[in-house]
Chains A and B, each alone.
Chain A
Amino acid sequence: GEEGITLTITANAISGGKNAAGAEWIKQWVIPRFEAAQKAAGHEVRVLFQPNGVGDEQYKTKVALDLKSRTGADVIDLDGIWVGEFAQAGYLKPLTELGGTAVETWEGWKQIPQAVQGLGIFEGKKYGLPQGTDGRVLYYNRELFGRAGLPEPWQPRSWQEILDAGAALKRLPGVTPIQINAGTAMGEATTMQGALPLLAGTGTEIYTGGRWAGSSQAVKDVLEFYRQIYSGGLGDPKLQQEAKGRDKSFAEFADGRIGILAEGDYFWRSVIDPKTGVAPMAERDRVVGYARIPARRPGAGVRGQDFVSLSGGAVRVLNPFSKHPRQAWELLSFMHSAEAVKAELAGAARVTSRSDVNAEVLAADPMLRFVSEEILPITVYRPGLAVYPQVSAALQEATADIVSGRPVQEAAAAYRAKVEGLVGGSGNVAD
C-alpha cells in the first residue's frame, strides 16, 4: 500500500525572497525529519515543497483555482480569515473527516488556547491548525514623548488621551503625531490596525449574531475619531493615500518622525528589529514603548473591557482532494509539534499557537510576552466569511472619505449603503 507516497506542502514563502525563513524551515527541517520519521516507521514518503512569493490575493487565487479543479498541495498555508469562505466553497473539509481519529487524539490541541484555535474553526468545525497569532498595540517613541513633555511609560485610558498626547507631539517640528492606518491604499492594514480595534473600543464587533455593523453610532464614533486625527493635523493624510504608505510609515517611525503608531507585534519583530528588521532601530528596546489600545472610555470596549485588541494569524489546512489524507494529517500534525514549531522560530521570538512553546521562547522578549499575556486575553478575531473582505474594503473606503475631508455623516451613510449591497439587503445589517 503505502509504497512511494508523495506529499506536497505549499506556502506563500520562498527561499531568497518573501518569508525565506519559513521556506528554509520546511525544506531543511520539516521535510528531512518527516521523511526520516516515516522511514523509521516503515513508510516510504516523499515530501515536496511548492514555494510562492507573491501578494496574498494572488496566492489566495492560485490556491482557490487549484482546489476548484481538485488538485493542489496536500498541506496548504492559508490566512485564518479565508477558512470560512474556502469551506463554504467546498474547498476545505473538517480535519476529522480527512485525518480520521488521529485528529481527535492529537496531543497538540491541549497546548492551543481555545481563542487561538478559533482561527481554524468555521461554524464549529475545525478546518485548520493555527500557526500562531498576534496582537495589536500602540507603539510610541519615548524620545519624542520626552521632548513633548509627556509622561512615560504611557498608557492611555481613553481615545481622548491619545488625542491629547497627539496635540502635545504636534508641537515638535517634522513629527507626525499619530499614525492610525486609514484609507484603501493600506488595504486590510486599515481594518486590522485601525477601524476594527477602534470599533471594538466602542463595544461593537463588525459581525455579531449574523448581522454586520452598519451606520451605527459606534461606526460614527470611529469615523469621528479618524476625523479628529486627520483634519486636526495629528496625522499625515498623504501617507494614507500612497500605494506604499504603510512601508513609508514604518520607515518614518524608525526615523523618529512618528509619535504614536498602531501596529501588530509583527512591527516589533520584523520591522524595527535592530538586526533583522526592514527598518531597523538600533535603540529599539530603549526608544520604543508600547501600550494597550484603550476603549473609547474605560469600560466601553467589547465585553465591557477597558482595553481592546485585534488578532489574526495563519493556519495550515489539509487539501480535501488529497490522495493520502491520513499521511497528510501526519505531516500537518508533525509540522505543529512543539519541536517543529520551535525549529520554525529558529531562535526568533514570536507568539506561536502553542502555549508550551510560547512559555519557552517568549521569556527573553518582554514585548512579546506582553502580547501573549496581556493582549491575547482581550483580543478579537475577524469573521472568516466570503463577504468579509468586501465589507472590510467598504470600511476602508469610509475611512478614506474621512481622510479626504468628507463629513462623518455622509461617509457613514455611504458605508451603510455599500454594506447592504454586499451582504444581501438591510436585513443582514445591524441598525
Chain B
Amino acid sequence: MSTDAAGLGRGRAVAFALPALVLIGTFLIFPAIWTIYLGLTDYRLTGAAAADPRLVGAGNYATALGDERFRDSVWLTAQFVLGSAIIGQAGLGFALAWIMRDRRGPVRRVVEALVLLSWILPGSVVAFLWIALLDRDGGTLNALLGTPGAAWLLDHPMLSIIVFNTWRGTAFSMMLYSAALENVPPSHLETARLAGASALQQLRDVVLPRIKGHVLTNVLLTSLWTFNDFTPFLITAGGPEGRSEILPVYVYNVALRDGRLGFGAAVSLLILAINLVFALAYLRLLRDRREVPG
C-alpha cells in the first residue's frame, strides 16, 4: 500500500515513467553523451580528421572561448534572448493576457487565434513570410511605412530577428500568463483598488508576487527555447557579416558549413553550460520565493 492518491506506489510509478525514460535515454541521453565525447576530439564530417579523429581534450573549448566570433555570438544571443524571449515574448504575452483577462467574445478570439497561428505555422513557411514582409524592395512593411529601400534585415538584423521571434513565440507566454492570471484572486486586486492603488501598483503589489512561479517557468522555458532557436537562420542566415549570428546559427555554420563537428559539439556543450547557468539563476530566484510561504 502506498501513500499517493492513486495508490501507484514506487514500483508502478517507475513502470509508468519507464517508457518515456527509455525513449529519452536512447534518443536524448545517449546522443548527448556521444556529443560530449565528440567535443573532446577534432572530429570533422569530411577530410582526414573524419577518418581518424584525434582527442584534443579541452582544446575545442579553449579555441571557442578564444574565438572572437564565438564571444560575439554569445553576446548576440544574450541580446536575442533578452530582447525576444524576456522582453518580447514574456512582456507582450503578459500584456496580452492582462488586457484580455476579463474580455470575452470575438475580439479576444481573433487576437488569440492570430497569436497562436504565428506559433504553430511551420518555421520554413514563417521564414518566407518574414522575408517577404521585410524585403528591401518589395517588402510589405516598406510599402506600408512608405520607406522604400529600407533594408531592415541588413541595417537592423538583430532587431529584425528579435521582433520576428517575439511574433513567433508570444503565444506560449500569453497562454501561460492567461492561466496564471486566473489564479490571482480577484479579491486581492480589489482590496488594492479599494485602498486606491493604481494599475501599476496593483501589478507590483498583487499580481507579480502571486504569479512569480509562472513567470519563472515561462522565462525558463522561453529563454531555453530561444537560446536554441534556429529559425532566425532562415531569415538572415546569421548575416550580414555575422551581425545576427546567434549561437545556434554559429553552431550550424561551424558544424555543417565548415564540417567541424567536434568543435561544434564542444560549442553545443558550452551552450548547455550557459543554459544551465540561466536555469540555476532562475531556480535561485525560485528558492528565494519559497522562503516565503504562500
Contacts and interface: CB of A to CB of B under 8 A. Distances in A.
Interface of A: 57-58, 60-61, 64-65, 68, 82, 85-86, 88-91, 183-185, 238, 240-244, 248, 385-387, 389-390, 393, 397, 400-401, 404
Contacts of A242: 136, 151, 153-154, 239-240
A57 B46 CA distance: 12
20 contacts: A60-B45, A60-B46, A61-B256, A88-B48, A89-B51, A183-B240, A183-B241, A184-B241, A238-B136, A241-B151, A241-B154, A241-B239, A242-B239, A243-B153, A386-B46, A386-B49, A393-B257, A400-B241, A401-B241, A404-B240
Interface string B125-156: 00000010000110000000000000101100
Contacts of B51: 88-90
B228 to A, nearest CB: 19
A125 to B, nearest CB: 15
B50 A90 contact: yes
B236 interface: yes
B241 A241 contact: yes
Q: Lowest 4 CB-CB distances: which A-B pairs, in order?
A: A386-B47, A241-B240, A89-B50, A85-B46
B241 A64 contact: no
A385 B242 CA distance: 25
Contact of A91 (B50, B153, B242): B50
Contacts of A387: 47
B240 A185 contact: yes
Nearest to B254: A390
A386 B53 CA distance: 14
Given A241-B240, A386-B259, A91 B154 contact: no
Contacts, number: 91
Nearest to B45: A64
A90 B45 CA distance: 11
Contact of A89 (B48, B153, B154, B257): B48
A61, A82, A89, A248 interface centre (most CB from chain B within 10 Å): A89
Interface in B232-279: 235-237, 239-242, 256-259
Contact of A386 (B44, B235, B237): B44
B213 to A, nearest CB: 40
Contact of B240 (A90, A91, A386, A400): A400
Contacts of B239: 183-185, 241-243
A82 B154 contact: no
Contact of A389 (B48, B50, B137, B259): B259
B151 A238 contact: yes
A244 B47 CA distance: 30
Contact of A68 (B49, B50, B241): B50
Given A241-B151, A241-B154, 16 more contacts: A60-B45, A61-B45, A85-B50, A91-B50, A184-B242, A240-B240, A242-B136, A242-B151, A242-B239, A243-B236, A386-B44, A386-B259, A387-B47, A389-B257, A397-B241, A401-B241
Contacts of B235: 243
B47 A385 contact: yes
Nearest to A396: B241
